[in-house]
Amino acid sequence: MTTHAPVGEVATTSVARLDPVAIRADFPIFDRDFGGRRLAYLDSAATALKPRVVIDAVDAYNSRYSANVHRGIYTIGEEATAAYEGARTAVARFINAPDRHEIVFVRNATEAINLVAYTWGRQHIHSGDTIVLTELEHHSNLVPWQLLAQERDADLEFVPIDDEGRLLQATYEALLRTKPRLVAFTHVSNGLGTINPVREMVEAAHAAGAMVLVDGAQAVPHLPVDVQALGCDFYVFSGHKTLGPTGSGALWARRELLESMPPFMAGGEMIREVHLRRTEFNDVPWKFEAGTPDIAAAIGLGAAVEYLEGIGMAAVREHERELVAYALDLLPQEVPDLKLYGPLSPDERGGVVTFNLPAVHAHDVATLLDREAIAVRAGHHCTQPLHERLGEAATARASFNVYSDHEDVERLASALARVQRIFDRPTGGTA
């Protein structure tokens, strides 16, 4: 039986405690008054709030050196290029990629996965091949593979989950015996918070001859990620969930792998030499960055990962683990019939708590919580197949980040209790 210990866990005694109150001072959005209340933002799984340093980095680019990259032989052109490439180096360091040439800037994890599906995928997936996915996957790590499988007449297989939302490893091993070409799965489930045993699953996939893509959208912002230690072939994440600007994200893959892949989008920037009838492509990673990139967003992402490095990802993980433990304990106390989804142990889950109130639709919950400046997500969280497996049309989801604290959890719990009371209150046929 494989372990579920997340890679990069550090003994809690040696981790400095993060101070969410001090951290909130770094985020201007908390200065905004929401009906006399501070925003309790519990939807970081959708996108993260932005610290002042990130906003300033974007602002500085736009106001002081907003030139294009890789072309201008003038001061601000060189400044823009240095900042953009400096951000690439920072991102490589953040996930312990050995070489900054292995970081491709994209708009988000979705684009990164599509990039792999359209390039490596179309190069290597043929009729009769199998791609192994899981029931946990976000639509972005499912639909691109559906399109590829349809186009190439390939098969999709899915690792199922148990009732706590953990992958059935025995089934995974059985599926690997079909010799899939590719295994693609999430590091941390955005729907249930499950932390998957990435290193072990990668080893098993490689032993079976498969390539591995890992969706790190809910991992990189919340726990230490070391792509070398994980050993996968492709790793993707979204910058905007990592305190970075919208429009930022990255694909990591080994240099030789990127060099072997055909281009994705074509045009300026990704070329070395262009003639009327033939073109030589640029080196990696620029081969995969066609046209003018979202320069400001990439620079902002560089500032974001540096900000997080200043806090320390082990501290971030411990902070969120503790908040999840608190929430898993407090929520059922305040709303006795509350239904919780996902692993029961805080050690096996990221900072995501998905739940339902008995007889109250998640949308109504979210609307009422909004009245108290509490932001939760309601719906299927881009995981319709997972929700079918759960047998629920919709769930509510609270997710944590560096700026979340005990007070957020307490506000959530008591607000949920009030929502339940509203829906329980007698109305005596007033209609």
Q: Which residues are catalytic?
A: 382
Rg (CA), the chain: 22
Please list, residue by residue across 41-72, b when 16 or more beta carbons sit within 10 angstroms of its beta carbon and e when fewer do: bbbbbbbbbbbebbbebbebbeeebebbbbee
Which listed residue (368, 385, 389, 410) binds another protein by CB under 8 A?
Answer: 368
CB of 431 to another protein, least distance (A): 4
Instruction: For residue 334, state whether it binds another protein (rule: CB under 8 A).
Output: no
Nearer to another protein, 14 or 427 (CB): 427
Query: In angstroms, what is the minimal distance from the CB of 145 to another protein?
Result: 21
- Least separation, in Å, of the C-beta of 282 and another protein? 36
Rounded to whole angstroms, how far apart are CA atoms 42 and 401?
A: 8
Three-state DSSP state, 375: strand
Which range, of 145-153, 203-211, 257-265, 411-419, touches another protein by CB under 8 A?
411-419
Among 314, 362, 386, 396, binds another protein (CB under 8 A): 362
Q: Is residue 417 near another protein by the rule CB under 8 A? A: no
Contact window for another protein (CB under 8 A) among 62-70, 311-319, 373-381, 400-408: 373-381
Q: 219, 191 in Cβ contact below 8 A?
A: no
208 binds another protein per the rule CB under 8 A: no
At closest approach, how far in Å is the CB of 133 from another protein? 21
Any idea what DSSP says for residue 268?
S
Min separation Cβ 46 and another protein, Å: 11
CA–CA dist 314, 166 (Å, integer) = 23
Q: Which is nearer to another protein, 36 or 310 (CB)?
A: 36
Q: Which of 32, 275, 277, 425 binds another protein (CB under 8 A)?
A: 425
421 phi and psi angles, rounded to 5 deg: -65, -40
Binding mask 254-283 for another protein (x = CB under 8 A): ------------------------------
- CA distances for 293 relative to 10, 70, 107, 270, angstroms: 36, 11, 9, 11
According to DSSP, the residues that pair with 379 across neighbouring strands are 395
Decide if residue 391 touches another protein (CB under 8 A): no
- Examine residue 358 and tell whether it contacts another protein (CB under 8 A): no
Q: Does 394 bind another protein (CB under 8 A)?
A: yes
DSSP reduced 3-state for 131 = strand
Q: Give the number of other Cβ atoms within 10 Å of residue 76's Cβ.
A: 14
Q: Which of 248, 315, 191, 342 is nearest to 48 (CA)?
A: 248
For the CB of residue 372, give the shortest distance to another protein in the complex, in Å: 6
Distance, in Å, from the CA atom of 10 to the CA atom of 221, rounded to the nearest integer, reads: 16
Q: Does 71 bind another protein (CB under 8 A)?
A: no
Positions in the binding site for another protein (CB under 8 A): 360-364, 367-368, 370-372, 378-380, 392-394, 415, 418-419, 422-423, 425, 427, 429-431
